[in-house]
A and B are shown apart, each in its own frame.
Chain A
Amino acid sequence: MTTFEVVAEGLGKRYGPARALDMFDLAVPTGAVYGLLGPNGAGKTTAVRILATLLRFDTGRATVAGFDVLRQPSEVRARIGLTGQYAAVDETLSGRQNLELFGRLFRLGRREARQRAGDLLERFGLDEAASRSAGEYSGGMRRRLDLAASLIRTPRVLFLDEPTTGLDPRSRNQVWDLVRALVAEGTTVLLTTQYLEEADQLANRISVIDAGRVVAEGSPDELKSMTGGDRIEVVVRDPADLAEAARIVAPISGAEPVIEPEVRRLSVPVVDRVAVLVDVVRALDDAAIAVEDVGLRRATLDEAFLHLTGHRPDHAREQAGAGRQAAVA
């Protein structure tokens, strides 16, 4: 039987007339990495702040690690870690002083707090910078320190609110590796992101949020297949063959191929994947068309997002996100 570490039922949160969350449901299985995916202003941060006991909600109910967020906030706080774009560290204190401070506040003894700080600094590759002010750290180092601060006591549930926003690819990969290691140790992770790649890389379940509501829920693969599934892509050697290849492929797949002459590629959606692939290869070979590459490609999460919300996540920031952003920020 699946147990759920984070549960939200019908959460609602208003800021004046604006609804930041509207009948928001969530069920995060124990041990999962659960992604909340959506554009800026969709309500991701509001949801995380509510579940981390920072923000009250108007309607619904929520439990974290089996405790009611509203009625037993101390029990919840003792079992969660929070890292993200806003939950920061003390910029004046050194890395070590920060971790010792948080250790003391997590009720570790003085020596224990010092020991734990040392361990974490080493594990997160910060031991050389340990005595420098956190304010002087690079973005990646600060995020690592922030993450370390959430792990003073290994949390049952870790909330990561856009953990890699603003990080370079190397730092981002480091954070991802750290998250994977934590999950291997049994921590349940709730992650918000506006990067599809991040959700795809880390999460084994995803809720797509738009305008404060969950618009889709499932594994990354399930979400991708919601868009109509897979496509066959064929790259020909000679661009002059493209029209001929399209004419051959169309009746086999039952759909009109999309041609991209600049990359000598045509692609077409398919339902019965493998059978069609074999037929396409055979027919092109019979027609003596030189093929450079042919393959099946799953729809990207990007396409899934477009399909589900009607806008691309990147553009969403300027368009649909703009109006709600002020209310949720």
Chain B
Amino acid sequence: MTTAIADGWTMTRRNMIHVIRAPEELILYFSLPIMFVLVFGYVFGSGMQVPNGGNYREFLLPGVFVMTMLYGLGATATGVALDLSRGVVDRFRSMPMARSALMTGRSAADLLRAMLEMSALLACGLLVGWQWRLGVGRALLAVGLLLLLRVAITWVGIYLALLVRNPDTVGVIVFPAAFPLTAISNVFVSPELMPSFVGAISEWNPLSATVAAIRELFGNPGLGGDSWPAEHAMLLAVFWPVLLIAVFAPLAVRRYRRLSR
């Protein structure tokens, strides 16, 4: 157990060195949320409504936070697939290290990375007029929910990479898979304003749970709806990520073991 933790930490440091040595990747993943803030906040936003009133950018920012966590899927899956394709995983597997370290190290490093991204995004948010209104405690709780979601997405990403293996393919899959998830959710538009069928999907979208929960914790506008998922957003914001981890972590481990077939 101690060796698993020590090796996991060594692998975490390895992945963090990647971020430091190749920061352009971080900037790439970063430019996307900022673009969304600018495009939706300042261009489309002028035509957007927030139910029960409120500033659209303040409504939008929690959605963009969640979206950034989701797009971390690309970073995770591409990183793992690159390791697999370049054979460095073979070297790790031929060494007397803990088998889990590759995955726990990736998961921990991506969490640290997400903290970095969140700090920068919160600062950007403050610049465009977003703010937390209910105190630092609840704001930190909201960040905690975001990071929980990121951990869940990391495990989906590890599994995806082990399934697909080819880093180019992984890169191509992620955006088309992730974008509809953000579009049919409460990230940009409140589900109440959507056609009822699409609205219902949006309400039940796991991303919507986290978005609604952190809007509530930050004290941002756009709460509402009297549907079950809207009223139990906080519960679902914990339930969905935990469910994803419970499903995808064992799947990823099984897939990793199958590399020796």
Contacts and interface: CB of A to CB of B under 8 A. Distances in A.
A87 B10 contact: no
Interface in B71-124: 86-88, 90-97, 101
**Chain A contact surface mostly:** loop
Contacts of B101: 105
B133 interface: no
Contact of B95 (A77, A90, A93): A77
A55 interface: yes
A242 B243 CA distance: 86
Interface string A45-80: 000010011111000000000000000001001101
Contact of B17 (A80, A88, A93): A93
B88 A54 contact: no
B97 A80 contact: no
Nearest to A91: B86
User: Do most interface residues of chain B lie in helix, strand or loop, or is the interface mixed?
Assistant: helix
Given A56-B261, A102-B95, A86 B90 contact: yes
Contacts of A54: 90, 93-94, 259-260
A312 interface: no
Interface residues of A, number: 29
B23 to A, nearest CB: 11
Contacts of A94: 21
A125 B192 CA distance: 67
Given A88-B86, A92-B21, A77 B94 contact: yes
Contacts of B21: 92-94, 133
Contact of B90 (A87, A97, A133): A87
B14 interface: yes
Given A54-B260, A56-B261, A82-B90, A105 B17 contact: no
Q: In the A-B complex, list the 10 residue pairs whose CB atoms are closest, starting with the nearest.
A: A88-B87, A86-B87, A78-B96, A77-B96, A105-B97, A82-B94, A87-B91, A104-B10, A87-B90, A52-B94
Interface of B: 3, 7, 10, 13-14, 17-18, 21-22, 86-88, 90-97, 101, 259-261
